[in-house]
Amino acid sequence: MKTALLAIAVPVLALATPRAADACSPTLCQPGYFVPGDAAHVPANLSAVYWRPMSSAARPLTPDPNLVVLAPAADPNKPVRFRATALPGGDFLLVLDAPLTAGTTYTLSDGNTCNSTTANGPHVTFMAGPAAPLPTHLGTLAVTDGGVAPLEVASVSGSCSSEVSADRSTFVLAPTADAQPWLDVLQFETFVDGTKWQAASSINQTLSPGTSWQGRGSDLLYRVCQTADEAVGGGLDAGTHDVELHATLPGMPVTLTSDSATVAIACASDPEPACTDAATCKPDKAGCSASGATGAPWLLLALGLLLRRRTSGQ
């Protein structure tokens, strides 16, 4: 199933020059994350918790899984036992020794601290609901044309980000019934024409695992139409693109793909796409007409000339 959307940009007003900004520098300590996050709802048969420890650009951190505590909120002195498995890239999978209890609220805290700022690790509270079967289909993408508007995007010019004028399309997952209970722990990735798409509002933006710069199960695609900052990426090429959302459930045998959506993005300055529908192409083949009846005026003119010749010959 495919959802078609045509997002043709209209002319834009002159874009202001990039605002003055302080020099961009990385934060001393990148925050850590848990999945499930704060206020999440998960099935009781969730088998593992995903942990991304804090990281430091100044001095390497050595996270200690023994300082992570998962416990019922009502009884914090009875922690839930788990086994920590290190993953490539520095993240951990905390595999639970026993299922969660449906109807119970849990707290999950990271007692590690940043050695540069003494900042604490993440602390979240989530609810376990009834056990649910593993999802077999992800769902469809509800796409919205955002048109041309200002957009804050990452820049390597030294200011972390810049405001550009961009043609945009956003999408939100419309999940299937069996995917719905797992939404707060599924980890999503966006693929455009088979290639992973990643965007950020700043080069220092940090994201919870499995989310995009627009959140969990949603994303924003764009093409830069006008910018005064040559250090920003241009986004997508002009034209039509196939978009899919992929999802996994770490620690569980789940790999899902949404139904695809077709999105077309272009700026006013982009060339008109070549006509591919012979029934609606203009005579010069330079583009497509708005209607298949473009030959009617020529036919009327030819008939008029023929009648005029017959009348003058009598």
For residue 273, give the amino acid letter.
Answer: P
pLDDT, one tens digit per residue, over 104-141 is: 999 999 999 987 787 889 999 999 999 999 999 999 99
Query: Phi and psi of 298, rounded to 5°?
Result: -65, -35
Longest dimension (CA), the chain: 111
**Which tokens is 128 given?**
């376990």
Contacts of 98 (CB under 8 A, 6+ apart): 80, 81
Element (H, E) at 311: helix 296-313
pLDDT at 144 exceeding the cut of 60:
yes
If pLDDT is split at 50, 70 and 90, which confidence band does 309 have? very low
pLDDT, one tens digit per residue, over 76-90 is: 999 999 999 999 999
- Local structure of 298: helix, strand or coil: helix
Of 53-57, 152-156, 232-236, the poorest mean pLDDT is in 53-57
Domains delineated in the chain: 3-11+136-266 (2.60.40), 31-129 (2.60.40.1220)
Q: Can you tell me the distance from the alpha carbon of 251 to that of 274, in angstroms, rounded to the nearest whole number?
A: 47
- Local structure of 303: helix, strand or coil: helix
Query: Phi and psi of 307, rounded to 5°?
Result: -65, -35
If pLDDT is split at 50, 70 and 90, which confidence band does 282 have? low
Higher pLDDT, 292 or 308: 308
E-strand spans in the chain? 3-8, 29-30, 33-35, 41-43, 48-52, 55-56, 68-72, 82-86, 92-96, 105-110, 123-129, 139-154, 161-175, 187-192, 195-197, 218-226, 239-248, 255-257, 261-266
pLDDT, one tens digit per residue, over 246-272 is: 999 999 999 999 999 999 999 998 987
Higher pLDDT, 119 or 286: 119
User: Residue 22: what pLDDT?
Assistant: 53
If pLDDT is split at 50, 70 and 90, which confidence band does 274 have? low
Strand pairing class (123-129; 41-43): parallel
- For 131, other C-beta atoms within 10 Å of its C-beta total 13
pLDDT, one tens digit per residue, over 178-223 is: 999 999 999 999 999 999 999 999 999 999 999 999 999 999 999 9
Of 71-75, 117-121, 282-286, the poorest mean pLDDT is in 282-286
pLDDT at 21 exceeding the cut of 70:
no
In the chain, % of residues over pLDDT 90:
69
